[in-house]
Amino acid sequence: MGILRIIACATFAAAVSTLPAKAQQLTVWHDLGDNGIKWFEALSAEFAKQKPGVTVRSQSFPTDQWFGRVISALNTDTAPDLIFNNYERVIRIQNQTNKVMDLKELTGKISDKAFLSADDMRVATFKGRQIIIPIQRVQMAFGLRKSWLEKNGGKFPDTWEEVKTLAAAFRDNDPDGNGKADTFGLALQAAKPRDLIHMLDLFMFGSGLRHTLIDPEGKITIDQPAHAQVLEEFLKTYSSYKFVSPDTINHSFAEMYQVIEGGRGGMFRVGDWNVRKWDGAQVLNGDFVSGPWPKFAADRPNAVVIGGMRGVAVPENSPNKALAQEFAAFMLSKAAQQASLENIGAGVRKDLDVSKLSPRSQYFAKAEHRLVAYDFPESIHAFYPELEAAFHRKLLSGIANPPADWKAFIAETAKEMRDLATKLKG
Amino acid sequence: MTELLGNLSRDRVFYLLVAPFAALTILLGIWPILLSIQVSFTASATALRPNPTYVGFANYLAVLSDSIFLASLWRTLLYTVLSVIANLAFALGFAILLDSTLLKRGNLFFRLAIFLPVITPDVAGYVVWRWLYDRSFGALNAALELLGLPAFGGLSSVDTALLSILIAELWHHAGFYMIIFLANLSIRDRALEEAAQIDGATTWQRWRYVILPQLRPALVINTVYALIQFLKTFTVVVVMTKGGPNDQTNFVSYYAYQLFDQARYGEATAMATILFAIVIGLSLTAYRIGDREPGR
């Protein structure tokens, strides 16, 4: 009997010794789709090398649903361990919940972070709190159909006048050679406030200006001469110049992508996240080239635009708060950033191996061009979304019924925006 | 009281069977509506917090003094009237045609053809309509060009956008109303028509005084259903125009949705509540009018 007891105890001890340490799981909610899920799987495997037994499970939601889920989860103490999204979206979460952790202290403890610029840290901070750790710069360049460009001299346009010449050629000279007049100079969008103002932002910031509609002091900028010049040309692009599809007034992101990927638009926005898909044989097959946005004045340098910053945030009521912070810090490590570059096409470090990327992806990964970041007015002016919606409505009325005098239209718009901003501030 | 308890006890099986469905109706039907109404009385910035700040009727006052909302409400009502008339007239006309001897051959084919759009996923249908209307590669303008006719502005012109989505919605919904009319036509008392014919009534008089009164149930149900449907018009706008061009298709549902996108939850739910009240009011009025006995 005694021998049996010893055998039983030994068997039990052996079984216990083979069990792993207590397993722990972190949950991340994001909106990056399949690429994001693959990225977090890679991160999970890498993090487990430092923290055996810890797994990271990511869940991707469509952006609209992500907002609702995160806000209600944070407000009802059923939060995930981490959330991942664009800075301006995390601002909205913080506004609605007041439960996004200040990560300043955590970031201070990270030694390997010299690659984060002052601009990066500025777009991570909202009302004095660092609400995200910046993980991926969202770069947006000006792109052209390479084969169409080659048929028209092959020189990447540097100035707005050169862009206009090319746009007319792409529209009129049948660059795809199908014998039909079915191509356009540019592929843009206009339907929703963010659609149109986002496009305008790219031309403004890309041409070296700092604020599209309102500056940090609350002054409306659209009728300042340099701004008014870009705005007028931008509005004419949608109307009298006829450089875009006539249906663009109703186009949002999906329709804009149909024009680009359907081979009908000659010039367009290229986001770093677009490159992987557009390199695909069934899409653009790499037939595009990227560069900085066009110059509107010789003395103002042009640039590629940092249109956003994706980052990781930790809810105050994260179930595994300490471990979640460790993982958030880990996302800046070289291994994690390499996985980010390979799966999403973006990162913040500059010491990553880019040799496996296509030349078009390398353009963004090396970030050798001049970069200019958005000003994120929503982080300063709480009323900005409402002001932007009114601005959008006014611009659309101009595009739908083009005025004889755009300068007068811009002056009138500026006055209306000033009146509205004053009212909203009050 | 004793009688009430007695009735409850007697009908306990009925109440037991009904209870789960009543609970589901309250949970999934009434509760969200009440929550939405509650949010309409809160400040947007705190609307989704556990302890929101209540602002009384401030959101309603803001909404009712918003000229864009008033324009969108007017547009919604106009679109609803036009759509209800167009859909019911088309559906009734087609139902009469299918019920007559004129379309005996191919009757089943035509019934299927007109009903198929109803079961087609609306998003897919509207995407195809958007392509048909496209000014650069759409089939509609290609056909007009072939015929030497001027181009149709479609969804991108402020003059034709409303008409364009009305046609697309007609395509999607008319089959449903037609089936209701057809069902009503098939159960009408044909002996009354024969009697009227014997009495010398003309075809028009038979339709006006004998057949049409018998279609009252279908007319009432179709009118009420169509009113509800078109007052809430949303999907077609999201897919085809996003409220444009220049707000020409910006109906109340879509405008409220846009405010959600700007995190203006209080005003958005106030708009939804106003629309809800209008839908209930108009539907009940239409039902009451339709349900009145003739001559009263």
Least confident of A13-22, A325-334, B84-93: A13-22
Is some CB atom of chain A closer than 8 A to the CB atom of B65? no
**Closest A-chain CA to B240:** A250
**Closest A-chain CA to B262:** A385
Provide the mean pLDDT of chain B: 91
Find the CB nearest A247 among B48, B49, B134: B134
Interface pTM, i.e. ipTM: 0.78
Q: Which of A70, A78, A243, A250 is the best mutation test for B, with the most CBs of B within 10 A?
A: A250
CB contact under 8 A, A245 and B242: no
Domains for chain A: give ranges and CATH numbers: 21-138+308-374 (3.40.190.10), 139-213+227-306+392-401 (3.40.190.10)
Residues of A in contact with B48 (CB under 8 A): 71-72, 75, 96-97
Residues of A in contact with B42 (CB under 8 A): none
Report yes or no: B106 and B220 within 8 Å, Cβ to Cβ: no
Of B186, B165, B158, the residue nearest B248 (C-alpha): B158
Q: What single DSSP character describes residue A295?
A: B
**pLDDT, tens only, B170-212:** 999 999 999 999 999 999 999 998 999 999 999 899 988 999 9
Confidence of residue A21 (pLDDT cuts 50, 70, 90): very low
Predicted pLDDT of residue B182 = 94
In a domain, B49, yes or no: no
For A64-149, strand residue ranges (E) read: 82-86, 125-126, 129-130, 133-145
Predicted pLDDT of residue A8 = 53
If one counts the domains in chain B, the total is 1
Question: The domain that contains B170 carries what CATH number?
Answer: 1.10.3720.10
Q: CA–CA separation, A376 vs A384, rounded Å?
A: 10
Q: CA–CA separation, B89 vs B50, rounded Å?
A: 50
For residue A75, pLDDT over 90 is answered with no
Residues of B in contact with A382 (CB under 8 A): 45
Q: What single DSSP character describes residue B207?
A: I
CA distances from A197 to A189, A194, A382, A385 (A): 9, 5, 17, 11
Find the CB nearest A75 among B45, B50, B258: B50
Domain carrying residue B138: 60-291
Predicted pLDDT of residue B295 = 53
Predicted pLDDT of residue B143 = 94
In a domain, B34, yes or no: no
Backbone angles phi and psi of A54, in degrees to 5: -100, 130
Least confident of A15-29, A345-359, B272-286: A15-29
Predicted pLDDT of residue A100 = 96
Q: A278 to chain B, minimum CA–CA distance in Å?
A: 23
Report yes or no: B242 and A191 within 8 Å, Cβ to Cβ: yes
Report yes or no: A352 and A390 within 8 Å, Cβ to Cβ: no
Give the rounded percent of residues in chain A with a pLDDT score beyond 90: 73
Predicted pLDDT of residue A5 = 57
Q: B158 to chain A, minimum CA–CA distance in Å?
A: 7
Confidence of residue A17 (pLDDT cuts 50, 70, 90): very low
Give the rounded percent of residues in chain B with a pLDDT score beyond 90: 73
Of A102, A117, A193, the residue nearest A378 (C-alpha): A193
Q: B272 to chain A, minimum CA–CA distance in Å?
A: 18
In a domain, B255, yes or no: yes
CB contact under 8 A, B155 and A250: yes
For residue B21, pLDDT over 60 is answered with yes
User: With the C-alpha atoms ordered B119, B124, B130, B133, is the resulting torsion angle positive or negative?
Assistant: negative
Q: CA–CA separation, A87 vs A194, rounded Å?
A: 15
Report yes or no: A313 and A90 within 8 Å, Cβ to Cβ: yes
Average pLDDT over residues B220-245: 94
Backbone angles phi and psi of A285, in degrees to 5: 55, 35
**pLDDT, tens only, A151-187:** 999 999 999 999 999 999 999 999 999 998 899 999 9
Of A271, A274, A256, A123, the residue nearest A195 (C-alpha): A256
Q: What single DSSP character describes residue B293?
A: P
Confidence of residue B100 (pLDDT cuts 50, 70, 90): confident
Residues of A in contact with B135 (CB under 8 A): 245-247
Q: CA–CA separation, B11 vs B291, rounded Å?
A: 31
**pLDDT, tens only, A216-230:** 999 999 999 999 999
Q: How many CB atoms lie within 10 A of CB A296?
A: 23
**pLDDT, tens only, A82-141:** 999 999 899 989 988 889 999 999 999 999 999 998 878 888 999 899 999 999 989 999
Find the CB nearest A245 among B136, B240, B244: B136
Residues of B in contact with A73 (CB under 8 A): none
H or E stretch including A423? helix A406-425
Is some CB atom of chain A closer than 8 A to the CB atom of B244? yes
Average pLDDT over residues B244-269: 91
Residues of A in contact with B45 (CB under 8 A): 95-96, 382
Confidence of residue B293 (pLDDT cuts 50, 70, 90): low
**pLDDT, tens only, B104-130:** 788 889 889 999 999 999 999 999 999
CB contact under 8 A, A250 and B245: yes
Find the CB nearest B245 among A98, A245, A249: A249
Confidence of residue B244 (pLDDT cuts 50, 70, 90): confident
Q: A399 to chain B, minimum CA–CA distance in Å?
A: 8
Residues of A in contact with B237 (CB under 8 A): none
Q: CA–CA separation, B51 vs B65, rounded Å?
A: 27
Average pLDDT over residues A42-53: 95
Residues of A in contact with B246 (CB under 8 A): 249, 396-397, 399-401
In a domain, B256, yes or no: yes
For residue A15, pLDDT over 70 is answered with no
Predicted pLDDT of residue A18 = 44
Q: CA–CA separation, A281 vs A271, rounded Å?
A: 18
> What are A154's two structure tokens?
């092959």
Q: CA–CA separation, A335 vs A42, rounded Å?
A: 10
Is some CB atom of chain A closer than 8 A to the CB atom of B243? yes
Q: B47 to chain A, minimum CA–CA distance in Å?
A: 8
Q: CA–CA separation, B215 vs B99, rounded Å?
A: 13
Of B178, B176, B185, B177, the residue nearest B215 (C-alpha): B185
Q: A171 to chain B, minimum CA–CA distance in Å?
A: 12
**pLDDT, tens only, A135-158:** 998 999 999 999 999 999 999 999
In a domain, B136, yes or no: yes
Predicted pLDDT of residue A22 = 58
Find the CB nearest B246 among A76, A95, A396: A396
Confidence of residue A416 (pLDDT cuts 50, 70, 90): very high
Q: CA–CA separation, A202 vs B256, rounded Å?
A: 28
For residue A1, pLDDT over 70 is answered with no
Average pLDDT over residues B219-224: 94
CB contact under 8 A, B247 and A396: yes
pLDDT greater at residue B96 or residue B46: B96
For residue A19, pLDDT over 70 is answered with no
Backbone angles phi and psi of A58, in degrees to 5: -110, 145
Predicted pLDDT of residue A13 = 47
Predicted pLDDT of residue A398 = 95
For residue A51, pLDDT over 50 is answered with yes
Report yes or no: A33 and A61 within 8 Å, Cβ to Cβ: no
Report yes or no: A314 and A101 within 8 Å, Cβ to Cβ: yes
Interface A-B: count of C-beta contacts within 8 A: 80
CB contact under 8 A, B247 and A393: yes
Average pLDDT over residues A38-44: 96
Average pLDDT over residues A42-58: 95
- How many contiguous H segments (helices) and E segments (strands) does chain B have? 16, 0
In a domain, B93, yes or no: yes
In a domain, B270, yes or no: yes
Q: CA–CA separation, A234 vs A239, rounded Å?
A: 9
Residues of B in contact with A192 (CB under 8 A): 242, 258, 261
Predicted pLDDT of residue A2 = 52
Is some CB atom of chain A closer than 8 A to the CB atom of B51? no
CB contact under 8 A, A75 and B154: no
In a domain, B269, yes or no: yes
